[in-house]
Structure 1
Amino acid sequence: MRNGKVWWPWLAVLAAVVGVLVLAWVTFTPLTDNGGLQVSANRAQLTGGFVLAAAVPLVLALRWARQRSRELVAAAVPGPEVVARAKELLAGLVAEQWEDEARRRSLDDPYPIPVRWRTPAPDAHTPAVMDHPDLIDPTTASTGRVWWTASSNHIAALSVRFRRTRRGRLVILGKAGTGKTTLAIQLLLDLLATRTTGEPVPVLLPVAGWDTEQFPRLHDWVADRLARDYPALRSPDLSTGAAHALTGRGHVLPVLDGLDELPPPAQANVISALNRSLGGDDQLILTSRTTEFTTAITAAGDVVNSAAVLEPLPLSPAAAADYLTHCLPPSPGPAWEQTLTALRTTPPTDLTPLQQVPPGPAGVLARVTATPLGLWLLRTVYTAPGTTPTDLTDPALFPTPAALQAALFDRLIPALITTREPRKDSAEPFRPRHRHDPCDTRRWLGYLAHHLINQTDSSGGQEGGQETRDFAWWRLAATTRAMTLTTQLALTVTITLSLALMWGLMTGFVDWVENRYFEEKDQFLGGFPLGILGLAFGLLAGAYFGSQVRLWARETPGYADLRIRNRPAGLFRPLVKYCAIGLTTALACWLAQPTEDGTYESSLLVIVAWYGLIFGATAWLLKIPNWATTPASSTLTVAPIDSWRADRNLNLLRITICALAGGLCFWPTAVLLAALAGDLDTWGALTWSAQTLLLALTCGLTVGVAGRHRAWWAYLIATRKLARAGRLPPQLMPFLDDCHRLGLLRAVGPIYQFRHAELQDHLAATYQAPP
């Protein structure tokens, strides 16, 4: 197979073509009888069914053979040129994704919060968190100690220091809200902007999604995530193994965020798996809370090999005051000047718990603004028009830092909704599309935060009741147990009865029209026997597809890009090809059916040519979903809202295409044959149109519930049930997209996270379920 022997899948296509020719011979043989066109008109519906039956297996065989051939070709190791193109493509996609996310988070507005970082000082009372100095930085051989200092406001210096390490590995530690993820994003963007050709592409991934049992090696998991999060890497222009080649050859720098979000046993497993996976040249950036990381390396019995470690220092009151000054107008007013002066004169604090307060009237304020989280909250809430900072130094209102931080969390959502007016203009990507009530927004986000912490997975997924920070829309039905046994039974009965009724009506009506209109017009029960057969087939099909409802909650999202721009050839070229195949096959059938005197009927040629065109158009229609699900190299990064829309488009496209194919195979054929036979009138056109509608709906709905990637259906069921209970909005994903634009959520690939874990914890703790 690796030597080019990829022809054998096309044997299935050859068999399908032979079958179509045999089917055509059986179908068109009656045209040479004495009845001629009259017989063909009477059998128009049956002929249309034969054409559809011929088109489906042939198109499926073509799709399978082409896909299998591509897989066999891609089994070979991608060449250096392919890997180079995939690497540059990935670099562009990652840069676009995180530059957009950095703007949404206002990381550079007016400038990055100047958090200072340093390597942890040796402590005899705590275990070492760093490897041997000479394994980290070769320049420390004489001193025997790694000592780094860095600032989030001067990230370029940190990039230079990172590149000078022996293997390019860094662990970023800190308490909650100290800016670990922000520093990782800043470092990622700077490494991308200054990357040379031979350096790897940094890619940020939530480490909580790594199941070390399913993917023991880091490279395999990263390759799987790249293929799902960046569909462009699966485009036909690249090998299907491009993602594995990138990770296996050291062209990707994994930036793993949030080790602390895993359960304690899984944290230790990740540390062990990292040390097993990392080779001599493999680079790594990892973020975690300090306590959880210390516990993980203690349980694993080792640190991260050759990795430097950075921890944050608290923001000084003067630095916080300077940052707030630049966020305010040049003349902020006496109240702000008094508050900023009090903040500057407060003694520095450390990152001790919120209950400890430095002395002075602005001691509570200084403790809250010692972290980037507190400073961001204060800026967002109190720099809005109409707010005054006088209560920030009032000990009666905010006696403790915890009280002030809780108040800031409570006022955050109304402040963002008030200050950011909705805009429909695509040139305003950082404004919400709709206006939401602050109380409803607080309640809906509170339920989501509470659900992520207390969820249980009914589908046997990875969460299994564990706390998580990741919201994947396709897991909502499973984690909320929306697909209950009652719901599954109701859907099964509905699908079964609907398909049975539609197939029974369709087949019975077709037979009744033939008997009533063409043959025996006085026959009242015409169509009843065939209708019973259609009803039985519908019951069997509905029972089978209905039994698959329980699997909907386990489905992963599909992908469908309906944009024709930049890839029209891939859409319309198959139309020409399949019509040519259909016409060639039709001509062969016509030549194989001479009359008794050896001549050929021109009217028969029209019929078979029409059948050929119908076959080509039908085969092309059935090819459209394959075109839509094939990513292009220009496909943008898939954000959560894009992932949801892509799966929705795939389901709706599948239903629409199958409905059109069913109607196209039947109605034009019947009308043409009836017109040639002289039996076409208004009644005939109406009856054939009604039959076409029934056939189209039946085929579309049948395939719609039978196809793969049905996560959107499970999502619809879950959101409707939760919306009726008042827990989530009916249009959940557009609402979450607005929350992302407001800055309440962040997007990491196709999943959402709360912008700060502390915001999620606060909303979950204060959530009150609706009555």
Structure 2
Amino acid sequence: MRWERGPGPVWAAVCGLLVIGAAAASGSPQMKLGDVDPVGAVIGLSGLALTVVSVWLAVRAQRVSEMDLDHWARRLAVEVRGAETGELRKLLGDDDQADKPIDVRFVLSPTRAHQAGGVQPSGCLTEVVEYYRRLRPGRLVITGAAGAGKTVLALRLLLGLLAAPAPGDRVPVRLSATQWDTATPLPAWVAAHLVTVFRMPRRTAAALVKAGRVLPVIDGLDEMDIGAPGHTSRAADALRALNSAQDGLGKMEVVLTCRTDQYAALDDAHVRVRAQDAAHIRIEPVDTGTAQTFLETRVGAEDLVRWGPVLDALDFHPDGALARALDTPWRLTLAVTVYRRLDPVTGAYLRDPAELTAPDLDTPAKVGRHLLAAYIPAATTAADAAGRNLRHYSPDQIHRWLAHLARYLNGNAEKGPFAGRVLSGTDLVLHQLWPLAGDRPRVLAQSLAGVSTFVFLAVVLFAFHVPHRLTLAFIGAWGLTRVMGVRWPEPWRIELPRMRTPLGHRKLVGGAISGLVAGAVLGLVVGFTRGWAPGLAGGLTFVIVGGLGFWFLSPGAGRVVDPRDPIRNDLACSLVLGLQAALLFVLMWYWLMGEFTNGLFWLLSPLVWVWFVQAGRRAVTRYLMLILCTRGRLPWRLGRFLHWCHEDAGLLRVAGEAYQFRHRELQDHLARFPAP
């Protein structure tokens, strides 16, 4: 299978015909001898030579670059392992015992759907890889209560499969279910994820998926809808798409996580949607003995005296409120996080675990609310003690800022589609977060683009003494902003490493041909009006600066190592485009007018104009407008704050290019209690 084919050879042939036709016309016998200019002939011959070289490069790149699926699968496995190892560590905690998670048990749950072959009646966390390898086909649905450890179990399975892969094995890739537009088939969505997050060529990604070399691990089916999912819910549509998904080996294998009650609502007599040919397992609650062992291991022998009341309550009241509240790994980890924090000055413990046995905490919900209320102060104190709170965020600030984001996410389901797109209820993607301030960021961005375009066109028209200047400037500004305005701008990126690849060669060919066509037209126009020397110089300037400048600029977020990368990349591309436009404009002005009149003005004005006219279609500008519209409710450096919450405080987790709250329970708590 070959690399994706580009339009290079076709455009090269068209361009060659145009150049040959122009050369023939210039040498026509009807023209006088003085009408044939040697400079024009040089332009034609240069364009013809460049066209021939472009065709040769494009054909050579497509002929010799065979896709090695094994190579791409190995590369993908390395990148997935590196990213998910860190995420699992953050989910389990940040102390020296975090690598010893609770060995939760799961049981096979009965279902009316056709089950996969090789199912076993039960299993546990440490045996999940062997359990999965017995399934035929490898389709697994993991359910459990909120905080039961579904994501941790899925990550342990993912990393276990990557630890000792067999030749031809699928590479597990985790995806957030909330990012799936179910109108897109599952294979196409998975391939698009590989392109966006792992910077893989589109056809290579599609070939990997079609060949059955990718195992989608879809996390959070229950988070696609607010409330119980119905027959027309997004979760129901996702299950239907999963059942119909095929790859080159038959029914597409998949791992899916969902809350037990949400999956039961999909499987009831009214909806009747369930995963076919899959093993449905349910994670069991943590019993009191396992909870006691976990606490004793995590707190250490020297701290058992403080935790004595909690351990006694679990031992003597296994059905009490505290035991039922601490029956999930999430709540147990939360309790350890809250009550093991030390004062950074005195080194003393800040809270006493005996608080959990207070009489007023007489229900599991109250115990959970008590732990969640103390979680942000505990995480902030830990970051202070470790020297990771360089911005000196206070617990109250963090609570209010995160609560504002949580209320936005929880309200998305009630708002319905916004600007033609269904907003996520869990994902904080920086370049798609502007609807948090309503439609104001888009209106402000396009207004800024329109005003700057109007001013720029008016100045240029006045400089050339064009009549009806203001009217033409207004019409031009309105038309440009209408054409360039988009609802959901995608970030661009600079891809210097790909310049040496076959895809980069084809982009070079495409940029050269585009610049050649525009430069040839411009050179002919200038040549007939100002002379052939300025025409040649102007045409070559446009070819080099205007065409080849797009060689290393590509749409899309690119490989996302940090969720802030798309905004950073788009900002860099905006600056490059502005500098490119400024250089092109000042050089063309020199060749047309013969001098650098007010050179500094002519250098800066197109740079400023291109920067602002991109505002209507630039992701980074929408992000900046969002910051302006939410001043006081969110920090000025929102990206840095979210990075700190993930990397240093452990309040958020990362899924691809999105930040998510560490647990949906934390998001719901903050949305319900926005004040500290």
TM-score (norm 1): 0.70
Deviation at 1:394, TM superposition (A): 3.5
Secondary structure of the residue that 2:257 maps to in structure 1? strand
Letter in 2 for 1:387: L
Rounded to whole Å, the distance in 1 between the matches of 2:108 and 2:407 is 35
Does the aligned pair in 2 maintain the 1:557–1:647 contact within 8 Å?
Answer: yes
Rounded to whole Å, the distance in 2 between the matches of 1:718 and 1:20 is 51
1:619 aligns with 2:544: yes
Letter in 1 for 2:440: M
Q: Write the mapping of 1:58-457 to structure 2, written as runs, cut at 5 A.
A: 81-106=67-92, 109-120=97-108, 128=111, 131-132=114-115, 135-137=116-118, 146-151=120-125, 154=126, 157-212=127-182, 214-215=183-184, 217-231=185-199, 233-234=200-201, 240-263=202-225, 264=229, 265-278=233-246, 280=250, 282-298=252-268, 299=270, 301=272, 303-332=274-303, 334-336=305-307, 338-339=308-309, 341-343=311-313, 345-348=315-318, 358=319, 363-385=320-342, 386-421=349-384, 431=388, 434-455=391-412, 456=415
Rounded to whole Å, the distance in 1 between the matches of 2:576 and 2:630 is 26
Q: Which residue does the alignment assign to 2:457? A: 503
Letter in 1 for 2:549: I
Secondary structure of the residue that 1:370 maps to in structure 2? coil
Rounded to whole Å, the distance in 2 between the matches of 1:18 and 1:494 is 44
Q: Which residue does the alignment assign to 1:680? A: none
Say if 1:491 and 1:259 are closer, same or farther in 2 by CA, change over 3 A: closer
Q: Which residue does the alignment assign to 2:607? A: 697
Q: Which residue does the alignment assign to 1:647? A: 570
Letter in 2 for 1:711: A
Deviation at 1:73, TM superposition (A): 8.6
Q: Which residue does the alignment assign to 1:541? A: 476
Rounded to whole Å, the distance in 2 between the matches of 1:610 and 1:691 is 25
Deviation at 1:480, TM superposition (A): 3.9
Q: Which residue does the alignment assign to 1:522? A: none
C-alpha offsets along residues 133-185 of structure 1, whole Å, 9 cap, x if unaligned? Answer: xx421xx7xxxxx412213xx2xx22122112221111101111111111111
Deviation at 1:563, TM superposition (A): 7.7
1:758 aligns with 2:649: no
Letter in 1 for 2:285: P
C-alpha offsets along residues 461-499 of structure 1, whole Å, 9 cap, x if unaligned? Answer: 3426xx722223333233542338xx73x6655544432
Rounded to whole Å, the distance in 1 between the matches of 2:407 and 2:83 is 28
Rounded to whole Å, the distance in 2 between the matches of 1:300 and 1:13 is 58
Unaligned runs of 5+ in 2: 28-33, 343-348
Does the aligned pair in 1 maintain the 2:309–2:357 contact within 8 Å?
Answer: no
Rounded to whole Å, the distance in 2 between the matches of 1:660 and 1:537 is 25
Letter in 1 for 2:187: H
Rounded to whole Å, the distance in 1 between the matches of 2:461 and 2:373 is 62
Unaligned runs of 5+ in 1: 26-31, 34-49, 123-127, 141-145, 235-239, 349-357, 425-430, 512-528, 594-603, 675-684
1:7 aligns with 2:20: no
Say if 1:180 and 1:333 are closer, same or farther in 2 by CA, change over 3 A: closer
Q: Which residue does the alignment assign to 2:31? A: none
Q: Which residue does the alignment assign to 1:143? A: none
Q: Which residue does the alignment assign to 1:472? A: 429
Rounded to whole Å, the distance in 1 between the matches of 2:26 and 2:624 is 43
Rounded to whole Å, the distance in 1 between the matches of 2:546 and 2:234 is 47
C-alpha offsets along residues 398-418 of structure 1, whole Å, 9 cap, x if unaligned? Answer: 233322211211111121112
Letter in 1 for 2:13: L
Does the aligned pair in 2 maintain the 1:654–1:703 contact within 8 Å?
Answer: no
Deviation at 1:732, TM superposition (A): 1.7
Rounded to whole Å, the distance in 2 between the matches of 1:242 and 1:663 is 41
Deviation at 1:345, TM superposition (A): 2.3
Say if 1:166 and 1:14 are closer, same or farther in 2 by CA, change over 3 A: same
Letter in 2 for 1:718: L
Q: Highest Rg: 1 or 2?
A: 1
Rounded to whole Å, the distance in 2 between the matches of 1:23 and 1:703 is 39
Rounded to whole Å, the distance in 2 between the matches of 1:260 and 1:320 is 26
Q: Residue 641 of structure 2 is aligned with which of 732, 735, 738?
A: 735
Rounded to whole Å, the distance in 1 between the matches of 2:383 and 2:389 is 7
Say if 1:744 and 1:553 are closer, same or farther in 2 by CA, change over 3 A: farther
Deviation at 1:570, TM superposition (A): 6.6
Letter in 2 for 1:94: V
Rounded to whole Å, the distance in 1 between the matches of 2:23 and 2:540 is 13
Say if 1:457 and 1:768 are closer, same or farther in 2 by CA, change over 3 A: farther
Deviation at 1:3, TM superposition (A): 11
Rounded to whole Å, the distance in 2 between the matches of 1:294 and 1:555 is 38
Rounded to whole Å, the distance in 1 between the matches of 2:327 and 2:305 is 24
Secondary structure of the residue that 2:10 maps to in structure 1? coil
Coordinate RMSD, CA, aligned: 4.5
Say if 1:703 and 1:496 are closer, same or farther in 2 by CA, change over 3 A: closer
Secondary structure of the residue that 1:105 maps to in structure 2? helix
Letter in 2 for 1:461: G
Q: How many residues align?
A: 624
Deviation at 1:763, TM superposition (A): 0.5
Q: Residue 720 of structure 1 is aligned with which of 628, 637, 659?
A: 628
Letter in 1 for 2:454: A
Q: Write the mapping of 1:627-646 to structure 2, written as runs, cut at 5 A.
A: 627-629=552-554, 636-646=559-569
Rounded to whole Å, the distance in 2 between the matches of 1:618 and 1:751 is 38
Say if 1:756 and 1:619 are closer, same or farther in 2 by CA, change over 3 A: same
Does the aligned pair in 1 maintain the 2:106–2:124 contact within 8 Å?
Answer: yes
More displaced stretch, 274-283 vs 445-454: 274-283
Does the aligned pair in 2 maintain the 1:391–1:397 contact within 8 Å?
Answer: no
Q: Which residue does the alignment assign to 1:38? A: none
Does the aligned pair in 2 maintain the 1:223–1:243 contact within 8 Å?
Answer: yes
C-alpha offsets along residues 391-449 of structure 1, whole Å, 9 cap, x if unaligned? Answer: 3344235233322211211111121112114999xxxxxx5663312211111110111
TM-score (norm 2): 0.79
Q: Which residue does the alignment assign to 1:599? A: none
Does the aligned pair in 2 maintain the 1:169–1:308 contact within 8 Å?
Answer: yes
Secondary structure of the residue that 2:393 maps to in structure 1? coil
Deviation at 1:225, TM superposition (A): 2.4
Rounded to whole Å, the distance in 2 between the matches of 1:303 and 1:160 is 24
Say if 1:503 and 1:559 are closer, same or farther in 2 by CA, change over 3 A: same
Rounded to whole Å, the distance in 2 between the matches of 1:442 and 1:483 is 25
Letter in 2 for 1:227: V
Say if 1:702 and 1:438 are closer, same or farther in 2 by CA, change over 3 A: closer
Q: Which residue does the alignment assign to 2:492? A: 558
Say if 1:458 and 1:289 are closer, same or farther in 2 by CA, change over 3 A: closer
Letter in 2 for 1:758: E
Deviation at 1:258, TM superposition (A): 1.2
Does the aligned pair in 1 maintain the 2:148–2:283 contact within 8 Å?
Answer: yes
Say if 1:77 and 1:188 are closer, same or farther in 2 by CA, change over 3 A: farther
Does the aligned pair in 2 maintain the 1:177–1:371 contact within 8 Å?
Answer: yes
